[in-house]
C-alpha cells in the first residue's frame, strides 16, 4: 500500500492579499483531504516574505481541532530557529492535542538566508541540527530531569510535561538529499523523505539508508521511505501536463526548462491513469511507501483543489490497493 500525503508549501498569492482567508482555505482543503482518504498533511516551515507558515506548529494545532483521523507534521521544522527544549515541549503538546496523530520532522533548513536573519552562521546549521536531535529525543524519552551540555545548547534539569501520547516517541522524519545524510538518519532511527532528484538517484540514496539500517540491526520496510513530488491531475491530460511544465520552470528562461537542480521526474502530471502509472513506476524503482504531493506553491488554489478531488477519487484508492514495493532497488 502506498500512502498519500499533502506537502503544503503555504504562500500568499499576492503581497497585499488578506491572510486569514488563506488560512481558512488551507484548513478547508485539508479537511476535504481527510474525507477523501489521504494519510496526512505535512507543512513546510519557511521564513520568507510570502510564506504563511513561519510557525507551522500553530497551524497544526488548528488542524488538530478540525480533523479526527488525518496524521500531521512538519517536513520539516527548521531546528536552528529554536531552542530544542522548546521544540520538545511543542511536539509533546501537539501529539496530545491531535490524539496521537503527530509525525516529527526536523531539518537543518534549506535556506541559509533564513537562519542568517536571526544571527546563525550557515556553517552552524548542521551541528545545531545534530544537537537538536539529541535534545529532542533525550528530553522526550527521559525518565529523570534531562541535562545536556552542547556547544550551542544547554539544558539543566529539563522536564517535558505533558509527555507525548505516542510512546516512546511519535514517528520521526528527516529530509535528505545525499546518501550520507540518509545513512545518518537510518542510524538514528528516522524515516526519510527525498525530492527534486530523479527516481534513480533517490533509489541510490535509499540504498544507502537500507545499508545503514541493516548494519544497525534495524528492521526496515517501505513505510520508512517517502518521495515528494508535484502532482497535477486533470481529465484533460494535456492541460495537466502543460501546467506541470511551467510550474517549476527556470525564472526568466524557457517555460519548458526546469531549474537545473531539479529532475524532470519531480513533476507527475496527466490524467488519473497517467499519474497512477508514473507513481507506481517511481515507487517500484525506489521501494518507497509514501508520496507527498505539493499543495500551495507552485499550484494555484483552483488547480490544487481539482487535483485533490481527482487524485482522491481516482488515484489514491488504486495506490492504497497496490502491492507495496519490495525493499530494494528494482530497475525502472
Position 246 scores a pLDDT of 77
Q: What is the pLDDT of residues 24-68, one digit of tens each?
A: 999 999 999 999 999 999 999 998 888 899 999 999 999 999 999
Q: What is the Cα–Cα distance from 131 to 123, expressed in whole angstroms?
A: 14
Contacts for 211-217: CB closer than 8 Å, 24+ residues apart: 211/183, 211/186, 212/182, 212/183, 212/184, 212/186, 212/187, 213/186, 213/187, 216/186, 216/187
The torsion of the CA quartet 257, 22, 54, 129, rounded to 10 degrees, works out to: -60
Stated pTM of the model: 0.92
pLDDT of residue 327 exceeding 60, the answer is no
List residues bridging with 80 in a β-sheet. none
What are the structural domain ranges in the chain?
A: 1-51+221-323, 76-175
Mean per-residue pLDDT of the chain: 92
Mean pLDDT across the stretch 119-126?
94
Are the C-beta atoms of residues 100 and 128 closer than 8 Å to each other?
no
Going by pLDDT thresholds of 50, 70 and 90, the confidence category of residue 9 is confident
Going by pLDDT thresholds of 50, 70 and 90, the confidence category of residue 310 is very high
Position 311 scores a pLDDT of 98
As a residue count, the chain comes to 332
Q: What is the Cα–Cα distance from 257 to 268, expressed in whole angstroms?
A: 15
Position 328 scores a pLDDT of 44
Are the C-beta atoms of residues 41 and 6 closer than 8 Å to each other?
yes
Mean pLDDT across the stretch 240-244?
88
Position 260 scores a pLDDT of 74
Going by pLDDT thresholds of 50, 70 and 90, the confidence category of residue 100 is very high
Nearest to residue 59, comparing CAs of 39, 76, 44, 80? 44
Going by pLDDT thresholds of 50, 70 and 90, the confidence category of residue 91 is very high
pLDDT of residue 309 exceeding 50, the answer is yes
Share of the chain above pLDDT 90, in %: 78
Q: What is the pLDDT of residues 244-297, one digit of tens each?
A: 877 776 555 555 667 777 899 999 999 999 999 999 999 999 999 999 999 887
Nearest to residue 190, comparing CAs of 107, 278, 285, 101? 107
Q: What is the Cα–Cα distance from 266 to 105, expressed in whole angstroms?
A: 21
State the cell numbers at 152: 550551542
Alpha carbons within 13 A on the beta-carbon side of 322: 23
Are the C-beta atoms of residues 4 and 318 closer than 8 Å to each other?
no
Radius of gyration for the chain, computed over Cα atoms and rounded to the nearest angstrom: 19
pLDDT of residue 325 exceeding 70, the answer is no
pLDDT of residue 17 exceeding 60, the answer is yes
State the cell numbers at 101: 496523530
Position 316 scores a pLDDT of 97
Q: What is the Cα–Cα distance from 282 to 270, expressed in whole angstroms?
A: 15
Position 13 scores a pLDDT of 76
Q: What is the pLDDT of residues 157-209, one digit of tens each?
A: 999 999 999 999 999 999 999 999 999 999 999 999 999 999 999 999 999 99
Going by pLDDT thresholds of 50, 70 and 90, the confidence category of residue 214 is very high
pLDDT of residue 322 exceeding 90, the answer is no
Q: How far is CA 307 from the centre of its chain?
A: 18
Are the C-beta atoms of residues 8 and 299 closer than 8 Å to each other?
no
Are the C-beta atoms of residues 158 and 85 closer than 8 Å to each other?
yes
Share of the chain above pLDDT 70, in %: 94
Distance (Å) of CA 53 to CA 10, 26, 157, 177, 319:
6, 11, 32, 23, 29
Amino acid at each position: 500500500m502506498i500512502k498519500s500525503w499533502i506537502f503544503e508549501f503555504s504562500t500568499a498569492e499576492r503581497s497585499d492579499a488578506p491572510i486569514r482567508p488563506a488560512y481558512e482555505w488551507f484548513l478547508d482543503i485539508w479537511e476535504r483531504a481527510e474525507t477523501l482518504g489521504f494519510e496526512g498533511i505535512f507543512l513546510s516551515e519557511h521564513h520568507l516574505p510570502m510564506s504563511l507558515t513561519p510557525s507551522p506548529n500553530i497551524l497544526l494545532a488548528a488542524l488538530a481541532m478540525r480533523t479526527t483521523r488525518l496524521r500531521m507534521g512538519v517536513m520539516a521544522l527548521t531546528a536552528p530557529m529554536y531552542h530544542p527544549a522548546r521544540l520538545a515541549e511543542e511536539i509533546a503538546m501537539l501529539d496530545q492535542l491531535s490524539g496521537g496523530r503527530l509525525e516529527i520532522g526536523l531539518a537543518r533548513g534549506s535556506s541559509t538566508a533564513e537562519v542568517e536573519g536571526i544571527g546563525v552562521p550557515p556553517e552552524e546549521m548542521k551541528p545545531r541540527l545534530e544537537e537538536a536531535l539529541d535534545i529532542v529525543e533525550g528530553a522526550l524519552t527521559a525518565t529523570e530531569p534531562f541535562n545536556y551540555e552542547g556547544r550551542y545548547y544547554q539544558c539543566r534539569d529539563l522536564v517535558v510535561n505533558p509527555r507525548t501520547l505516542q510512546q516512546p516517541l511519535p514517528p520521526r522524519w528527516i529530509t535528505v538529499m545525499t546518501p550520507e545524510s540518509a545513512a545518518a538518519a537510518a542510524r538514528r532511527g528516522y524515516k526519510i523523505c527525498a525530492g527534486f532528484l530523479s527516481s534513480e538517484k533517490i533509489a541510490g540514496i535509499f540504498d544507502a539508508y537500507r545499508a545503514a539500517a541493516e548494519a544497525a540491526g534495524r528492521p526496515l520496510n517501505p513505510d520508512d521511505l517517502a518521495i515528494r513530488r508535484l502532482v497535477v491531475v486533470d481529465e484533460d491530460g494535456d492541460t495537466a501536463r502543460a501546467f506541470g511544465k511551467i510550474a517549476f520552470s527556470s525564472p526568466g528562461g524557457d517555460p519548458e526548462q526546469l531549474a537545473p537542480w531539479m529532475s524532470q521526474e519531480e513533476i507527475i502530471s496527466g490524467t488519473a491513469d497517467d499519474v497512477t502509472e508514473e507513481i507506481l513506476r517511481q515507487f517500484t524503482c525506489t521501494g518507497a511507501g509514501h508520496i507527498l504531493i505539493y499543495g500551495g506553491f507552485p499550484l494555484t488554489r483552483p488547480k490544487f483543489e481539482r487535483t485533490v478531488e481527482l487524485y482522491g477519487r481516482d488515484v489514491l484508492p488504486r495506490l492504497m490497493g497496490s502491492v507495496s514495493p519490495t525493499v530494494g532497488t528494482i530497475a525502472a
